[in-house]
């Protein structure tokens, strides 16, 4: 071996060049393999830290002009109203070839009620006279002092409260005005009427109430809500109950509350009580499909999230909002009964259960027959986690968290809600959400542009994954270039130098064999010096490649431009991609450079062995004779 090394370094320029080039080849292979590894690890981390969410919204098809009676002008006024075509089924989004993680589904929210729910941070009775900010809503029995037509403020005698609270302002009389009706029905003295009234204190400021003409009127009670029931089929078709539309009051006669109309009033009143103490239940296929979780406006503070398996199998587990859990002394593992009364496919739960309010919006829980909705699903759910809402509680986009919200797997509700659909409307971005595989937005559009509906608006959110995907691709391309260059360079270097150091050493081989050296000794003489030099060069090159991987990876990462909107997700990836475990530990530090050096050395040995074997095939005397002839 010493002789072999001595012979190799008799031409130091060639030997040094071989050392540097073979080390460079190992450097390229190590760098390329390390970059591929780092890219794979950061991409794997991104798959866990990022998700691609899409929302669906049916587009407005037209606008219509709606009229209403303006008492200030004593004429009709008009306003524009958005119009939609018939609701489009979410089945149109179920197209073959789209890489869904969770398919689009128009999800409702449910209303749940059970006696004993504490829905506020106090145990005092709810002020049921609330509707909106600063308003009073009641259902009362009244009697006119005289025959009248309520096309102006008329005085009524208060007799009985059926819903809401009567304040001192009412005393024994109220002023009533059916002000939005151009032809109000007459009221008669001696008759009792049940009315749904709203204490409207803004008419004077709006210029509708003439205080000079009615100096004794300080506040006017106006029609609040009619007794029309709302019910829809599973296809989104409203079941007709138009005969009770705009019916804000009825005459109370003997036995009235035993009649269908009287029972309708009582059912509506009971529905208000249920609504006042109900909670929203939000079914979903993944917690991340709820935008307040996706945007990190809410997070789990106790327990755990619902698992993918539990969502998929419809396990009866739930996530409970922090304030509701505290008010009802719920802990992880407790059971919560959820009798579901109604399903609403038309709105967001945050509209009916706003976080900023101490109460829910008034809801009529009567169907088209005037009957109170009965629970269609009543099961106990185990509390898996408790979540806290951090932000986004004072806007009205529909993506906000609902007060007292309970989140459940959609698949856990196995009974149909077809007889309990309180509201239905077109798909909106807050009730139709899906998830795609990361980096597959272009694949979605390729299919959608050919087969999708032009009446739907699709919006994607990926927190900057698309920008990261470009970074991953750049790193992959760089690693592929380095690996290809390393392999190609290694082959060329070995062919050239093996030819120079071995194939052209046939005379040396002939002399050594003539002096009695065996083929094995000759092979060692030719190979050992070259392989030792190659081994040292590979070790140095692979080590340098390993040490410089972090610098190159970070420079590639910095070359990608990110929006500050995605800074949180970017920080997650940067932290993982630059961590010592990825760049300098384990596989990247030892296994990859050792493997790269070993691969180059193995190629060197194989190439040299083949050329040495070629030298040894010829007899020494024939080689010498050939050499003398060439000379």
Cβ atoms of 383 and 331 closer than 8 Å: yes
Q: What is the DSSP letter of 126?
A: P
State which of 337-341, 512-516, 614-618 shows the largest mean pLDDT.
337-341
pTM above 0.85, yes or no: no
User: What is the separation of C-alpha 541 from the centre of its chain, rounded to a whole number of angstroms?
Assistant: 46
Q: Are strands 109-112 and 100-106 parallel, antiparallel or unpaired?
A: unpaired
Q: What is the pLDDT of residues 317-355, one digit of tens each?
A: 999 999 999 999 999 999 999 999 999 999 999 988 988
pLDDT for 579 equals 45
- Give the residues across from 250 on adjacent strands: 194
Query: Interior CA angle at 339 toward 139 and 342, to 5°?
Result: 55
pLDDT for 38 equals 74
- Judge residue 64's burial from the number of C-beta atoms within 10 Å of its C-beta, 0-12 exposed, 13-18 middle, 19 or more buried: exposed
Is residue 455 helix, strand or coil? coil
pLDDT category of residue 28 using cuts at 50, 70 and 90:
confident
What's the sign of the alpha-carbon dihedral 150, 153, 154, 158? positive
The widest CA-to-CA distance across the chain, in whole angstroms, is 142
| Residue 164 predicted with pLDDT over 90 | no
Find tokens 């010592």 and name the residue. 580
Mean pLDDT across 476-488: 77
pLDDT for 499 equals 63
pLDDT for 610 equals 74
Q: Which of residues 264 and 470 earns the better pLDDT score?
A: 264
Nearest CA among 383, 274, 408, 401 for reference residue 329: 383
Q: What is the pLDDT of residues 86-97, one digit of tens each?
A: 899 999 999 999
- Judge residue 13's burial from the number of C-beta atoms within 10 Å of its C-beta, 0-12 exposed, 13-18 middle, 19 or more buried: exposed
Q: Which of residues 439 and 510 earns the better pLDDT score?
A: 439
pLDDT category of residue 573 using cuts at 50, 70 and 90:
very low
State the DSSP H helix or E strand holding residue 513, giving kind and residue range, or none if neither.
Answer: helix 506-514
Structural domain spans, the chain: 2-50+465-630, 108-125+276-430, 137-272
Cβ atoms of 45 and 563 closer than 8 Å: no
State the DSSP H helix or E strand holding residue 472, giving kind and residue range, or none if neither.
Answer: helix 465-498
| Residue 508 predicted with pLDDT over 50 | yes
pLDDT category of residue 568 using cuts at 50, 70 and 90:
very low
Distance CA 35, CA 551 (A): 11
Find tokens 């806290």 and name the residue. 388
Cβ atoms of 137 and 164 closer than 8 Å: yes
Dihedral (Cα; 317, 323, 326, 329), 10-degree rounding: -40
Percent of the chain with pLDDT over 70: 76
**Long-range CB contacts (within 8 A, 24+) of 586-591:** 587/37, 588/34, 588/37, 588/38, 588/546, 588/549, 589/546
State the DSSP H helix or E strand holding residue 408, giving kind and residue range, or none if neither.
Answer: strand 406-409
- Give the residues across from 433 on adjacent strands: 55, 105
pLDDT for 626 equals 58
pLDDT for 134 equals 35
Nearest CA among 312, 412, 297 for reference residue 355: 297
Tokens at residue 407, please? 């989140």
Tell me the CB-side half-sphere exposure of residue 394, using CA atoms within 13 A.
Answer: 2
Number of H helices, E strands in the chain: 16, 20
Distance CA 228, CA 240 (A): 9
Distance CA 275, CA 372 (A): 12
| Residue 416 predicted with pLDDT over 80 | yes
State the DSSP H helix or E strand holding residue 77, giving kind and residue range, or none if neither.
Answer: strand 75-83
| Residue 494 predicted with pLDDT over 90 | no
| Residue 452 predicted with pLDDT over 80 | yes
Tokens at residue 163, please? 């819903």
Mean pLDDT across 128-148: 71
Distance CA 237, CA 519 (A): 93
Cβ atoms of 317 and 336 closer than 8 Å: no
pLDDT for 77 equals 83
pLDDT category of residue 190 using cuts at 50, 70 and 90:
very high
Is residue 484 helix, strand or coil? helix
Q: Which residues contact 197 (CB under 8 A, 6 or more apart)?
A: 137, 138, 139, 140, 174, 176, 221, 222, 223, 224
Mean pLDDT across 154-170: 78
Could you write out the DSSP letters of every residue in 224-292? --------B-TTSPBPP-GGGTT--EEEE-TTGGGSHHHHHHHHHHHHHHHHHT-EEEEEES-GGGSHH
Q: Which of residues 465 and 584 earns the better pLDDT score?
A: 465
pLDDT for 22 equals 80
Distance CA 47, CA 285 (A): 18
pLDDT category of residue 133 using cuts at 50, 70 and 90:
very low
pLDDT for 588 equals 54
Percent of the chain with pLDDT over 90: 43
Q: What is the pLDDT of residues 48-76, one digit of tens each?
A: 667 899 999 999 988 888 877 777 777 88
Distance CA 444, CA 432 (A): 16
Cβ atoms of 61 and 515 closer than 8 Å: no
Cβ atoms of 626 and 507 closer than 8 Å: no
Mean pLDDT across 604-631: 63
pLDDT category of residue 620 using cuts at 50, 70 and 90:
low
pLDDT category of residue 23 using cuts at 50, 70 and 90:
confident
Q: Which residues contact 344 (CB under 8 A, 6 or more apart)?
A: 108, 109, 110, 111, 352, 421, 422, 423
pLDDT for 319 equals 98
């Amino acid at each position: 071996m010493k002789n072999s090394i001595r012979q190799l370094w008799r031409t130091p320029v060639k030997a040094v060049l071989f050392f540097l080039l073979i080390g460079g080849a190992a450097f390229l292979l190590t760098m390329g393999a390390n970059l591929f590894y780092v890219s794979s690890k950061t991409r794997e981390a991104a798959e866990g830290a990022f998700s691609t969410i899409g929302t669906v919204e049916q587009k407005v098809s037209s606008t219509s002009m709606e009229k209403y009676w303006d008492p200030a002008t004593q004429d009709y006024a008009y306003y524009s109203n958005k119009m939609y075509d018939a609701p489009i089924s979410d089945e149109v989004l179920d197209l073959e070839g789209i890489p869904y993680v969770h398919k689009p589904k128009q999800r409702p929210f449910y209303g749940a009620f059970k006696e004993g729910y504490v829905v506020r941070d106090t145990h005092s009775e709810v002020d049921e006279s609330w509707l909106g900010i600063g308003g009073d809503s009641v259902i009362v029995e009244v009697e006119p002092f005289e025959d009248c037509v309520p096309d102006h403020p008329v005085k009524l005698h208060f007799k009985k409260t059926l819903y809401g609270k009567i304040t001192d302002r009412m005393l024994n009389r109220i002023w009533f005005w059916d002000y939005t009706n151009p032809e109000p029905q007459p009221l008669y003295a001696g008759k009792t009427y049940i009315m749904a009234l709203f204490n409207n204190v803004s008419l004077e400021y709006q210029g509708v109430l003439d205080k000079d003409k009615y100096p004794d009127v300080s506040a006017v009670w106006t029609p609040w809500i009619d007794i029309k029931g709302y019910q829809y089929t599973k296809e989104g078709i409203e079941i007709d109950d138009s005969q009770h539309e705009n019916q804000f009051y009825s005459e109370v006669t003997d036995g009235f509350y035993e009649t269908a109309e009287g029972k309708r009033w009582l059912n509506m009143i009971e529905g208000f009580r249920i609504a006042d103490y109900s909670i929203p239940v939000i079914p979903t296929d993944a917690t991340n499909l709820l935008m307040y979780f996706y945007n990190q406006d809410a997070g789990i503070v106790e327990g755990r999230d619902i698992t993918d398996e539990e969502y998929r199998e419809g396990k009866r587990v739930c996530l409970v909002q922090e304030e509701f859990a505290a008010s009802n002394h719920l802990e992880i593992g407790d059971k919560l009964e959820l009798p579901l009364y109604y399903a609403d496919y038309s709105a967001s739960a945050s509209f009916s259960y706003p976080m900023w309010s101490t109460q829910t919006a008034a809801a009529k829980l009567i169907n088209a027959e005037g009957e109170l909705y009965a629970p269609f699903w009543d099961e106990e759910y185990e509390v898996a986690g408790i979540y806290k809402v951090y932000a986004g509680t004072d806007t009205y986009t529909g993506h906000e968290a609902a007060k007292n919200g309970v989140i459940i797997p959609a698949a856990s509700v196995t009974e149909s809600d077809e007889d309990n659909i309180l509201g239905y409307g077109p798909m909106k971005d807050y009730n139709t959400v899906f998830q795609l595989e990361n980096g597959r937005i272009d694949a979605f559009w390729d299919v959608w542009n050919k087969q999708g509906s032009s009446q739907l608006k699709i919006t994607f959110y990926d927190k900057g994954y698309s920008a990261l995907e470009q970074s991953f691709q750049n790193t992959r391309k760089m690693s592929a270039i380095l690996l290809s260059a390393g392999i190609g360079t290694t082959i060329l270097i070995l062919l050239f130098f093996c030819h120079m150091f071995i194939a052209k050493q046939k005379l040396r081989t002939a002399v050594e064999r003539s002096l009695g050296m065996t083929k094995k000794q000759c092979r060692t003489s030719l190979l050992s010096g070259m392989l030792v030099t190659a081994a040292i060069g590979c070790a140095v090159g692979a080590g340098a490649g390993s040490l410089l991987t972090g610098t190159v990876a970070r420079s590639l990462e910095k070359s990608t431009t990110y929006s500050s909107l995605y800074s949180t997700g970017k920080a997650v990836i940067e932290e993982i991609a630059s961590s010592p475990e990825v760049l300098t530990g384990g596989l990247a530090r030892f296994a990859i450079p050792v493997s790269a050096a070993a691969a180059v050395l193995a190629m060197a040995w194989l190439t040299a062995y083949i050329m040495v074997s070629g030298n040894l095939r010829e007899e020494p005397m024939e080689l010498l004779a050939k050499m003398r002839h060439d000379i």
